[in-house]
Amino acid sequence: MIAGIGVDLVDIARFERTLERTPRLRERLFTANEQPMPARSLAARYAAKEAFIKALGGSDGVYWREIEVRNDPEGRPFFSLTGATAATVIARGISTMHVSMSHDGGFATAYVIAELRSDRPAGRKGL
C-alpha cells in the first residue's frame, strides 16, 4: 500500500550556479560516490532526495548524506540508505521507496513512491 508520494523539479542551470557559488554544498548534500557527477546528474539526485522527503511526509530523522541514489545493473535508480535515515524509514513502516528520475530541456525531475510494509496498517498515523 502506498504511504506517500513525492515529486520535485530542479532548474539545472540554476542548480549549477548554486554549486559554483557554494562549493561545500556538494559535500553537504551528496555522498562521496555522488559528488564527482556532472551537474545534471546531481540536480536529478537532488530532486530525488527532495521527493524522498516529501514521500516520507517530512524530514525529521532524515539526513542528506545518508541517502544515496544509485543505479542497478540495468540502469534503474534506487535509494541506498544508511544511519538514522534508514532507521527512520523502517520506523515509519516503509518497505520500499520507488524512484524515477529524468533530466531534459534544462530541468531535472524525480518522482518517489513510499510503500508501506504489508503488516503495517494504512493511514497517516505513525508516519
Residue-range domains of the chain with CATH: 2-116 (3.90.470.20)
Give residue 126's pLDDT band: very low, low, confident or very high (50, 70, 90): very low
Task: Decide if 9 contacts 107 (C-beta within 8 A).
Answer: yes
Q: Which residues contact 58 (CB under 8 A, 6 or more apart)?
A: none
Cα 8 to Cα 2, 24, 51, 55, 79: the distances in Å are 18, 22, 5, 11, 16
Q: What is the pTM of this model?
A: 0.90
What angle is formed at CA 5 by the lines to CA 126 and CA 105, rounded to 5 degrees?
155
Q: Please write the tens of the pLDDT for every residue from 14-70.
A: 999 999 999 899 999 999 999 999 999 999 999 999 999 999 999 999 999 999 999
Give residue 127's pLDDT band: very low, low, confident or very high (50, 70, 90): very low
Q: Please write the tens of the pLDDT for every residue from 87-103.
A: 999 999 999 999 999 99
Query: Which long-range CB contacts under 8 A does 29-36 form with residues at least 24 apart?
Result: 29/64, 29/65, 30/64, 30/65, 31/65, 31/68, 33/68, 33/70, 34/68, 34/69
